[in-house]
Chains A and B, each alone.
Chain A
Amino acid sequence: MTESLEYIDNYFKKAFTGHENQQFEQRIIEDPAFAEEVAFYIATMQTALQQQAEDKKERFRQLYKESIAEDNVRALGDDDIRSIGRKDIHPGRIRRLFPALVAAAVLLLVVTGWFLIIRAGSPQQLADSYITGNWQSLPVTMTSNESPLQTGLSYYNNGDLPAAAAQFEKSLQTDSSNSKALEYAGIVALRLLQYDKAIAYFRKLEDNTQLFANPGKFDHALTLMKRNQPGDAKAAKELLEQVVLNHLTNKEAADDFLKKL
C-alpha cells in the first residue's frame, strides 16, 4: 500500500518523465482500486490545505488584534501624550484631540472587551490573552553593549520575530545556560508557534535551580495551554499547581489560570 502511495506522491511531486506520467494516467483508467488511492491522496491534500488556510487565518487574526492595539497607542501620539501631562493645555488643543481621544477610548473598550471574552475561554484563549498582554514587547536594558541578546530584544520589539529568534539562538551558542536567552528564545518560539522548540527552552530554564526568579515552569505551562493538544491542558494544570505551591515566578497569574481552567 505504501508503495502505491509513494508512486502517487512521486507523480504529484513531478518526479516522473512524460512516459511515466502517461502510464500513471492509464492506470487510473484501468485500475479502480488505484484510482481510489489517487482520489484519496488529492482529497487529503485538499483537506490539509484547507486546514493550513484556517491556521493562517488564525495567525492573521492575532496580527490584526496587535495592529489595533498599536493604532490605539499611535492615535494618542507622543506629543499629545506629553501635552496631556502639562497643566497649560490649550482648550483648542483639547478640542482638536477630542475625536482622536474618543476613537482611542472606543477602540480600547473594544479591545478590552475582546480580551475579557477571551479570558473566559479555552486554555488556548487564556494563553493568547496572556501573550498579548505581556509579551508584545520585552524589556530592553539601557546598555551600550550590542550583545546578540540585546540585538534580539530590539528585533523582537520591532516585530521581527524570526530575526530575534536567530539572535537568541546565537546567544545560546555562546552560553547555553544563559537564563535570559533561554527565556527569550522560548518566548519567541512560542510566538512563532514552534511549540516543541519553546517547551525545550523552557524545560532547560526550569532545570536551573540557581535562579532567584525562574519563570520556566509557568512559561512551559503557558506553551502547553497555547498548543492545546490532547493531554496538554492537564499537564499545564499540574505545572501551574507546582508554580502556586512552590511560590514560583508568576504565582498570581498561575493562580488566576487555575481558577479558569
Chain B
Amino acid sequence: MKELGGTNGLSRRDFLRNGLVFGVGAQALASGYAAVPDVFARAVLSAKSAQVQNDKVLVMIQLGGGNDGLQTVIPIGSSQYRDFRPQLSAAAAKAQPINKDIGLHENLKGIKKLYDEGKVAIVQGVGYPKPSFSHFDSIRVWETADPDRRQQDGWLGAAIAKNYDSLGHPLVGCACGTTSVPGMLRDLQATLTVVDDAKTFGFQGGQNVENVMGTLYKSTPGIYGALFDTAMTTARDTVAQLRTSAAKYTPKGNYSDKVNLVYSSKNQLAAALQLAAELIVTGTGVKVLHVTLGGFDTHYTELNRHDSLMNYLDAAISAFQDDLSGYGMADRVMIATWSEFGRRPKENASGGTDHGTASPVFLIGDGVKGGVYGETPNLAKLDQGGNLSYSVDFRAVYQEILTSHLAVDAKELLGQSFDRVPFVKTQA
C-alpha cells in the first residue's frame, strides 16, 4: 500500500472504495494497484483549490432547431411583419403587449407575469458577425463562444474547469434530461454529469454490481480510456448524490409533461427542470445546469407547432420558478435561453420559416433586472439575404452572466470584452 501514498491521492480513495469487492480479488487488486497507480482515469483532470465564489446557479435552456424570435417577441407594431408573414402574423393580434412595438407570444403567460414582476430581461437581436445558417455550425459557435470556430471546449465547461473544483463533485456541471454531454459543458478538464432520468439513475443489481463496475473501469488503456473511467466514476458519484437529494426534495411547483406537443414527445423539459430544481434546492453544489427543448426547426406549419412549444416552455419555466420560490431560492438561480439562430422574416410555402439570424434571449430570475435590452429588430432594414441584423453580440450576454451572476472572470473565458448588457441586479 505504501506506494499509493505519494502518487495519487485519488487512487487511494478509489482503491479503498473498490478494494473490498471480491475476497481473493481484493488482495490481488491491492498488489496490482500498488504497482499501477490510477493515473490514467484522472490524468486529464487537475484538482484545483478554487472555491465556489458565490451561491449563484445558472440554468441554460436550449431551444433546439432555431427559435423564431419574431413569433416569440412579436413586432406587433410592424406592418412589414404582416407583409412578410401572411399566415404567421395571425399571432400578432393575440400577443401580450410589452410596449407599443412588441408583445410576448400569447402562450407565454407565466413569463409575462414574471416580466411584470420585473424578473425577466429580454435581450433583443442577439447574434454574431458573419452568421452561419447551418444548425451544427451555429450551435458550435454558441457552445464554444467562438464565431471563428477555433475553440473546442464549451464556454461553460471552460468556466467550470477554470473556476470550480469539480473533481469528485460531478454535479457542479450537470445536463438534465439528456443522454450525452451538451457541447456548452464539454471540457476535458471538467467533471460533468448527465442524468436522463433521475428515477432510473442507479445500478441494477445494487451496490455489489456498482462496486464491481468501479473496479472494472480503472486505468483503461486506449484513446477512450480516460473518458470511460471518468464517466464511470462520475456515474457512481452522481448515484450517491441523487440518493441523498431525492430524500430531501418534494416539488413545490406544478410540473407537467402532459402538454400535447404537435410532434415531439421526446421533449421532457418539465421533468428536466424538476430534476434541476431538486439538485439546486438540496444543496448538491450544482452551479451550471443545461436542459434542452427541441422542435424549433419550424420549416412547415409553424403556427401550431410554435404555439405548442411556447406553451410547453412557459409551463415548465413557471413551475420551475414556483418551485424555487417555494424553497426561497429564486434569487440564487438564473435561467438563460439560447438557440442557434432565429428564422427568416419571410415565411415559406409550407407555412413555416427557413433558417435566419438574430433572435431574442430571455434571462429569468429574482436576481434579474427586468426589461427590454438591445434593439427591436428592424424589418425595414434586412440584409442581402433577407435576414435581420444583430444588435447584441451573444458573448456580451455570456459576459454579463459570468461577471455579474456567477462572479467569475469573463475576459479569461471570452478572450475579449464587450459592451455591458446590464440585466443582472447589482448587489445591494
The answer to whether A and B interact is no
- Which residues of chain A have a CB within 8 Å of any CB of chain B? none
- Which residues of chain B have a CB within 8 Å of any CB of chain A? none
